[in-house]
Amino acid sequence: YNIPDTIEKQYLVRESKARVHQAQFREAVINVYRERCAISGLPVKTLLEAAHIIPDAEERGETTVNNGLSLSRIHHKAYDANLIGITPDYEVKVGDRLKEISDGPMLEVALQDIHGKRLILPQEQKYCPKRELLEVRFNEFLSEN
């Protein structure tokens, strides 16, 4: 790698489309999961994100609580990258790409050891993730693993 000593600051002004509803979606999802990660149980709200099962940018991506999961940042990123998947029966699966890496306790505890774990679900059934949405997303995970 050619790593420069300094990096020139550059800025770009652009117009963008903001998801105004995202803050409300985040609050609702994290609240129904009692401010915990659905995979690890982590109870630190500032480290939690509302992950869409089917992204809201997609036509079938609903802006409903049961199209969301309260996940820690690392689990959210891994889920979005299809490194982990969630079955329609609420079981976490770790993809082969992550299983094959050996790189210390962070990877092992935070990601590899969650294989086969069941999601921590909202207390009210109506807020649980929709199985049909999980199935669509899990099939995407399987196609990449």
Cβ pair 44, 70 in contact under 8 A: no
Q: pLDDT tens across 64-119, in order?
A: 999 999 999 999 999 999 999 999 999 999 988 877 777 777 777 678 788 899 99
The two structure tokens encoding residue 144: 């990449």
**Those residues with Cβ within 8 angstroms of residue 46's Cβ, 6 or more apart along the chain or in another chain:** none
Q: How many helices (H) and strands (E) does the chain have?
A: 5, 4
The tokens of 114 are what? 């969650």
Tell me what pLDDT residue 21 has.
65
Confidence (pTM): 0.83
DSSP 118: B
pLDDT at 19 over 80: no
